[in-house]
Amino acid sequence: MEHHMAPKITVIGTGYLGATHAAAMAELGFEVLGLDVVPEKIELLSSGRVPMYEPGLEDLLRRHVAGIDGATGRLRFTTSYEEVADFGDVHFVCVNTPQKHGEYACDMSYVDSAVESLAPLLRRPALVVGKSTVPVGSAARLAARLLELAPAGEAAELAWNPEFLREGFAVQDTLHPDRIVVGVTSKQAEKQLREVYASPIGEGSPFVVTDFPTAELVKTSANSFLATKISFINAMAEVCEAADGDVVKLAEAIGHDERIGKKFLRAGIGFGGGCLPKDIRAFMARAGELGADQALTFLREVDSINMRRRGHMVELAREAVGGSFLGKRVAVLGAAFKPDSDDVRDSPALNVAGQIHLQGAQVTVYDPKGMENARALFPTLGYAPSALDAARGAHAVLHLTEWREFRDLDPQEVGAVVDERRILDGRNALDPQVWREADWTYRALGRPRI
Ligand SMILES: NC(=O)C1=CN([C@@H]2O[C@H](COP(=O)(O)OP(=O)(O)OC[C@H]3O[C@@H](n4cnc5c(N)ncnc54)[C@H](O)[C@@H]3O)[C@@H](O)[C@H]2O)C=CC1
Ligand SMILES: O=C(O)[C@H]1O[C@H](OP(=O)(O)OP(=O)(O)OC[C@H]2O[C@@H](n3ccc(=O)[nH]c3=O)[C@H](O)[C@@H]2O)[C@H](O)[C@@H](O)[C@@H]1O
- Identify whether 275 is a catalytic site residue: yes
DSSP 321-388: TTS--TT-EEEEE--SSSTT----TT-HHHHHHHHHHHTT-EEEEE-SS-HHHHHHH-TTSEE-SSHH
- Show me where the domains of the chain are located: 9-210, 245-450
> What is the maximum alpha-carbon separation in the chain?
81
- 9-210 and 245-450 agree in CATH topology: yes
Cβ within 8 Å of residue 249, ≥6 positions away: none
pLDDT one-digit tens code per residue, 318-333 = 999 999 999 999 999 9
Is residue 291 packed enough to be buried (19+ CB in 10 Å), middle (13-18) or exposed (0-12)?
Answer: exposed
Judge contact between 90 and 126, C-beta under 8 A. Answer: yes
pLDDT one-digit tens code per residue, 398-414 = 999 999 999 999 999 99
Ligand 1 binding pocket includes 24 (Cβ within 6 Å):
no
In angstroms, the CA 188 to CA 354 distance is: 51
Cα 276 to averaged position of ligand 2 atoms, centre (Å): 7
pLDDT at residue 450 in the model: 73
Please, what is the angle between helix 212-243 and helix 297-320, to 10°?
A: 40
DSSP 8-state symbol, 2:
P
pLDDT at residue 384 in the model: 98
Cβ within 8 Å of residue 284, ≥6 positions away: 104, 293, 296, 299, 300
In angstroms, the CA 141 to CA 421 distance is: 58
Q: Which ligand number lies closest to the CA of residue 282?
A: 1
In angstroms, the CA 73 to CA 77 distance is: 11
The pick from 54, 178, 263, 275 for probing ligand 2's pocket by mutation, whose C-beta has the most ligand atoms within 8 angstroms, reads 275
Where do runs of H (alpha helix) occur along 153-269?
170-175, 187-196, 198-202, 212-243, 247-255
pLDDT at residue 3 in the model: 60
CATH 3.30.930.10 fits 9-210, yes or no: no
* ipTM greater than 0.85: yes
Mean pLDDT by 10 residues, the chain (450 residues): 80 98 98 98 98 96 97 98 98 97 96 98 97 98 98 97 97 97 98 98 98 98 98 98 96 98 98 97 97 96 98 97 97 98 97 98 98 97 98 98 98 98 98 97 91
Instruction: Flag whether 165 is marked binding.
Output: yes
Judge contact between 74 and 64, C-beta under 8 A. Answer: yes
Angle at 113 between CA 26 and CA 145, to 5 degrees: 100
- The CATH number corresponding to 245-450 among 3.30.390.30, 3.40.50.720, 3.40.470.10, 1.10.10.10 equals 3.40.50.720
Q: What are the Cα distances from residue 321, in Å, to 111, 329, 437?
A: 47, 9, 21
Cβ within 8 Å of residue 293, ≥6 positions away: 284, 287
Q: What are the Cα distances from residue 413, in Å, to 284, 314, 354?
A: 47, 25, 27
At position 316, the amino acid (one-letter code) is L
The pick from 97, 166, 254, 265 for probing ligand 2's pocket by mutation, whose C-beta has the most ligand atoms within 8 angstroms, reads 166
Residue with CA closest to ligand 2 atom 27: 270
| pTM more than 0.95 | yes
**Backbone region of residue 438 per phi and psi (left: phi > 0; alpha: psi in -120 to 50; beta: other values):** alpha
At position 401, the amino acid (one-letter code) is T
**Backbone region of residue 303 per phi and psi (left: phi > 0; alpha: psi in -120 to 50; beta: other values):** alpha
pLDDT at residue 1 in the model: 47
